[in-house]
């Protein structure tokens, strides 16, 4: 059941959600109701078990919680193995997408190194198309993942000193680039500064969309993959602990995406590469833009986070923090 249009989904969701002007507009269009059953159980608040998100409560833990930072030790090798794999994934309840993945998930695995580590990534192309891995950061030309295209069945090892510190990303750079990114070949790359960041609960959020009907527009949006996932499974945090989010936007087709937090403000460090920050509750990101969000929650309770493009929110890019003492 991947033959969804954006409008069909909005129509399906409309009876369950208070009618915003956008949803009312969609209802007025009277589009085909074929998809209605997928969201028939949607609760008005889109919270908890009634939320139309696939998966179990810990399915995305490996994408949400990054590997621990290691102390600065120049020359240490951080080695990762990544395989490109064609795989059908469930991007919303009952909606499947024929993805191209790194290691079977969209986004791919979180890579982490400390500045001056040697980052070594052994890449094997087990997919059906030529792929590469292009990293953001500073590295030699032959490690850039543009010209050394890896054919199906082939492999390539990327190796370079990890720098500069910050929140980065990686993605396939084969052509057509738009297709290789839209299909799901991307992930987060964290490079830690030589002086450790202060303690925090660390999370990774990679923003993206899924064009499930192949019309060149996204039908669903999510954080670390599936639509509505963190609405179904709110992220539990403590008020006493800083929440640090490594945030990146890999959304294809739409020119911008955004992150908006309810009920509080956060420090936003663009690219995570310096000390200067903006104190805000909303940041806008184009594709490839990323940064570090640091939240010190003022209050306990349930707080929403979502794209401040309302349509993205209604198509899956929303979630909750559950803040306790
Ligand atoms: Cu590719
Ligand atoms: Cu890029």
Q: Is residue 161 a part of any domain in this protein?
A: yes
Show Cβ contacts of residue 219 under 8 Å, excluding neighbours closer than 6 positions.
4, 5, 6, 9, 95, 209, 210, 211, 212, 213, 315
User: Closest Cα to residue 251, out of 295, 294, 202, 205?
Assistant: 205
**The CA-based dihedral angle spanning residues 145, 207, 28, 90, taken in that order and rounded to the nearest 10 degrees:** 80
Q: How far is the CA of 118 from the centre of ligand 1 (A)?
A: 24
Taking only the tens place, the pLDDT of each residue in 274-311 is: 999 999 999 999 999 999 999 999 999 999 999 999 99
Question: What pLDDT does residue 46 have?
Answer: 64
Please report, in tens digits, the pLDDT of each residue of the chain (325 residues total).
344 455 455 444 433 333 333 332 233 222 333 333 344 334 445 666 667 899 999 999 999 999 999 999 999 999 999 999 999 999 999 999 999 999 999 999 999 999 999 999 999 999 999 999 999 999 999 999 999 999 999 999 999 999 999 999 999 999 999 999 999 999 999 999 999 999 999 999 999 999 999 999 999 999 999 999 999 999 999 999 999 999 999 999 999 999 999 999 999 999 999 999 999 999 999 999 999 999 999 999 999 999 999 999 999 999 999 999 9
Q: How far is the CA of 137 from the centre of ligand 2 (A)?
A: 10
Q: Is residue 269 a part of any domain in this protein?
A: no
Q: Is residue 104 a part of any domain in this protein?
A: yes
Q: How far is the CA of 41 from the centre of ligand 2 (A)?
A: 38
Long-range contacts of 163-166 (CB under 8 A, 24+ apart): 163/115, 163/116, 163/137, 163/138, 163/191, 164/115, 164/137, 164/138, 164/191, 164/273, 165/114, 165/115, 165/191, 165/192, 165/193, 165/194, 165/272, 165/273, 166/191, 166/271, 166/272, 166/273, 166/292
How many angstroms separate the CA atoms of 23 and 172, rounded?
A: 35
Count the helices and strands in the chain (H runs, E runs).
Answer: 6, 19
Q: How far is the CA of 290 from the centre of ligand 2 (A)?
A: 11
- What's the CATH number where 115 sits? 2.60.40.420
Across-strand partners of 125? 84
Residues with a beta carbon under 5 angstroms from ion ligand 1: 131, 172, 174, 180, 185
Q: How far is the CA of 157 from the centre of ligand 1 (A)?
A: 16
Whose atoms come closest to the Cα of 123: which ligand? 1
Question: What pLDDT does residue 130 have?
Answer: 98
* Matching residue, tokens 């009312």: 24
Q: Is residue 176 a part of any domain in this protein?
A: yes
* C-alpha dist (Å) from residue 316 to 25, 46, 78, 226: 19, 10, 34, 8
- Count of the separate structural domains present in the chain: 1
Taking only the tens place, the pLDDT of each residue in 48-63 is: 666 789 999 999 999 9
Enclosing domain of residue 91? 71-192
Whose atoms come closest to the Cα of 134: which ligand? 2
Whose atoms come closest to the Cα of 150: which ligand? 1
Question: What pLDDT does residue 45 have?
Answer: 58
Q: Is residue 22 a part of any domain in this protein?
A: no
Q: How far is the CA of 150 from the centre of ligand 1 (A)?
A: 9
Q: Is residue 143 a part of any domain in this protein?
A: yes
Residue pair 319/303 in contact (Cβ under 8 Å)? The answer is no
Across-strand partners of 201? 243
Q: Is residue 213 a part of any domain in this protein?
A: no
**Through-space distance between the first and last CA atoms of the chain, rounded to whole angstroms:** 42
Single pTM value for the model:
0.88
Q: Is residue 115 a part of any domain in this protein?
A: yes
């Amino acid at each position: 059941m991947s033959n969804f249009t954006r409008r069909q989904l909005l129509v399906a969701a409309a009876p369950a959600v208070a009618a915003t002007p956008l949803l009312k507009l969609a209802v007025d269009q009277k589009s085909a109701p074929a998809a209605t059953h997928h969201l028939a159980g949607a609760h008005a608040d889109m919270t908890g078990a009634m939320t139309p998100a696939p998966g179990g409560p810990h399915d995305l833990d490996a994408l949400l919680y990054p590997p621990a930072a290691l102390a600065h030790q120049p020359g240490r090798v951080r080695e990762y193995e990544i395989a490109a794999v064609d795989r059908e994934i469930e991007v919303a309840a009952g909606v499947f997408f024929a993805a191209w993945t790194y290691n079977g998930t969209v986004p791919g695995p979180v890579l982490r190194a400390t500045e001056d580590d040697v980052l070594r990534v052994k890449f094997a192309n087990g997919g059906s198309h030529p792929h590469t891995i292009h990293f953001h950061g500073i590295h030699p030309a032959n490690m850039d993942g543009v010209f050394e295209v890896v054919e199906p069945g082939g492999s390539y090892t990327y190796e370079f000193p990890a720098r500069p510190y910050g929140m980065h990303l990686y993605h396939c750079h084969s052509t057509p680039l738009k297709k290789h990114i839209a299909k799901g070949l991307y992930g987060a790359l964290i490079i830690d500064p030589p002086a450790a960041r202060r303690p925090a609960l660390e999370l990774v959020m990679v923003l993206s969309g899924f064009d499930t009907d192949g019309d060149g527009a996204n039908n669903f949006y999510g954080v670390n993959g599936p639509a509505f996932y963190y609405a179904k499974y709110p992220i539990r945090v403590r008020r006493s602990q800083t929440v640090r989010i490594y945030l990146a936007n890999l959304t294809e087709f739409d020119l911008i995406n955004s992150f908006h937090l309810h009920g509080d403000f956060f420090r936003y460090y663009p690219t995570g590469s310096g000390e200067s920050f903006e104190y805000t509750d909303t940041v806008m990101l184009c594709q490839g833009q990323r940064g570090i969000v640091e939240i010190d929650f003022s209050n306990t309770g349930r707080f929403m986070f979502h794209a401040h493009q309302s349509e993205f929110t209604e198509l899956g890019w929303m979630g909750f923090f559950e803040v306790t003492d």
